[in-house]
Every structure is written in structure tokens, then in C-alpha cells.
Amino acid sequence: MGHPLCSQLCEGPHIVFNRIYFVLKLSFIEFMQISTFETLVAIAQHSSFSRTAEIRNMTLSAVSMQMKSLEVELGATLFDRRYRPPKLTPLGIRVAQDAKTIVDAYSVLKSRCVPTDQLTGTYRIGFVPSAAARILPLFLGTAAQLAPKAMLNTSTGLSESLCEQVRNGQLDAAIVTEIADATFDLCCETLIREEMVVAAPSDIKAKGLAELSATHPFLHFIPSSGIGKLIAQYRDQMQLKFKEVIILDSIEAIVNCVKNGIGYALLPKTDVLRYGADQVLVLPCEPQPLFRNISLVTREDALTEMWRPKLMTLLETSITGLENAEV
């Protein structure tokens, strides 16, 4: 016979964890450590024992043994081991969802008991590459000084992918190019608002996007990226027609192509000045200006509300240092 609380764990959200503080005092928590639930939640998020072992700093056999012990304790089959890697059963999916509620509630309790305004704990944070190049070094340096107890695991990716990873729990937060389609159901707070400009060869005689579009190839940053989508929206809004389009996945490569007279581009002004210096012609977007917002995106839940302001403060401090360095 399984653990008497297993059936309660899986009866539904209207019963489970209505009083989370009471649940955390129940006897089964005492011998089923929070770390076991954290492992189960990680497996549900990543669909991989090996990836979970890597993230949790465990051996693969330790993850497997931990999950087998959990199944024995609950008296329930949580994994279908006919598959490689094992897949969660429908019951396992429900238990993992309930386990996440326990893990989140425990994290809230721990956060409330920390007598400090410093960010503490472990966080997975994604950056779009263009933001990582500028913000990440200062951010990590600032965090080391102001939040030494925080462990920050960073990665890079495109805005839409990062937002989806935040949404499904693979990331805790991400710094992205703000695009309504990608950030619509997430908490989105603007960090930097920067001007987009036209980068053209220095010896160009054409003035403005309309003339350039008729005479030179357009160097388009990845259309599926946040910047790429902003460019596409602006193109449609301004009814621009490009003579030829060359798609590249690196802002630095695009600016170098502009330097060599291959074509022109629409890019953040800061990046154009960084990579192009005085070797490219910088023109404003006319007749209507274009701006890009670099924003922090997170989920809307009680746990995130505990640490989001602290992370935001670290980022804002880093950006202040960045702006001072760029002046």
C-alpha cells in the first residue's frame, strides 16, 4: 500500500496545497527531502535524467536512485521505464506539478527568512547575444560584489526561445529584445531603450532607407530574432521594398560587411558604433524613428515576486556602470 498522502497529492488543485504552510509540516516532508522534489521537477522540465544530473550537480545513477526511492515511498509508478530515457507517467506528471508547488513554497519560506536585501539562491538567466556582449560582464562583476551568495547560471539565445524557456520553467529570467508576441504573458520590465539606426558604407551617396533600398543589398539580422522581428515590422510599416536581402546571424559580421561596402543594415546604434566606429555612415531612421527595448522577463508568481526586485536592482546597477563607461 502506498503512502496515505499520495492520493491527496493527485486529487486536483482544488484540494492539494490549499494551506501550503500546513502541508509543509506534514510528516512525509521530514523523510522525503525537498531535494528529491527539486530533482523530480527538473526531470519534468527537461525531460532528461542526464540533463537533470548535470544541472543538479549529481551523478546519473544518483538521480535514478532518488526517483526510485520516491516511487517506493509514494507507492506509485511515476516513470515509464520502457522508454529511454524514462518518461513520466500521467500520474508522474501530476505529482511533479504538485512537487513544484512544494518546492516553490519552500523557496518562498526560505526567502522570507533571509534578513537581507541581497539576492540569494540559484538562478538561471538567459541573455540575447547582443545584450550579453554589453551587459553580462558588468552584471556578473556587480553580482559578485553585491550578491555574493547568489549563484547565477547564464546562457544565450534568441528572444522568442528565451521567453519560452522562462514560460516553461527552464529559465528563471531572461534579458531579451521586447516583442509583444514573445512576452505577452510574462512580467516584462524595460532595462534599456536604445535607438535603431541605418548603418551604410561611408562612401555612400544615397540618403535614407528609400534610396538605399533601391541601390544596395539589405543586410538582415536573423528574421526570427527580436531585432529581426522589429526590423520586419518597421519594413512593413514604412512599406520598404528591399532590392536584395542577405541574412546574417552576427551583428559584428553585418557591420563588417557594411564597412566593406557590401550593403546597409538597420541595427542598434550602440552596436554600430562599437563595431563600426567611424568607418560606417550612421543615419537616423526617417521619417519615423525606431527603438529597441531590452527588457527583463520573468514569470508572474509568488516566488518570483520575492527575488525579482533584487535581480532588477543588480541589473540596473550594472547598466548604470555600462552607461558611465560608454559616455
Burial of 35-67, coded b for 16+ CB within 10 Å and e otherwise, reads ebbbbbbbbbbbeebebbbebbebeeeebbebb
Burial of 88-121, coded b for 16+ CB within 10 Å and e otherwise, reads beebbebbbebbbbbbbbbbbeebeeeeeeebbb
Question: How confident is the model over 3-39, as pLDDT tens digits?
Answer: 544 544 444 444 444 444 444 444 444 445 788 999 9
Residue 8 Cα distances to 30, 79, 106, angstroms: 17, 19, 19
pLDDT at 89: 94
User: How far is it, in rounded angstroms, from Cα 220 to Cα 218?
Assistant: 6
Helix, strand, or coil here: 277? Answer: coil
Residue identified by cell 520573468 is 298
Strand pairing report for 290-298 and 187-201: antiparallel
Which H or E run contains 229? helix 226-238
pLDDT at 111: 67
pLDDT at 92: 93
pLDDT at 27: 41
- Cell numbers for 18: 490549499
pLDDT at 194: 93
The verdict on whether omega for the bond into residue 90 sits within 30 degrees of 0, i.e. cis, is: no
| Helix, strand, coil shares, percent, the chain, to 5 | 50, 20, 30
The distance of Cα 42 from the centroid of its chain, to the nearest Å, equals: 16
Residue 290 Cα distances to 78, 195, 287, 326, angstroms: 51, 6, 10, 21
pLDDT at 206: 66
pLDDT at 294: 95
User: How far is it, in rounded angstroms, from Cα 57 to Cα 52?
Assistant: 8
Taking the model in full, what pTM does it have? 0.70
pLDDT at 25: 45
Q: What does each of the 327 residues of the chain score in pLDDT, given as a tens digit?
A: 455 445 444 444 444 444 444 444 444 444 457 889 999 999 998 889 998 998 888 899 999 999 999 999 889 999 999 988 889 999 999 999 999 888 888 877 776 666 567 888 889 999 999 899 889 999 999 999 999 988 899 999 999 999 999 998 889 999 999 988 888 889 999 999 999 999 999 888 766 777 888 788 999 999 989 999 999 999 888 888 888 899 999 999 999 999 999 999 999 999 999 898 788 999 898 889 999 999 999 998 877 888 899 999 999 999 986 665 454
Which H or E run contains 316? helix 302-326
Which residue segments constitute the domains of the chain, with CATH numbers given? Answer: 6-112 (1.10.10.10), 121-192+293-326 (3.40.190.10), 194-291 (3.40.190.10)
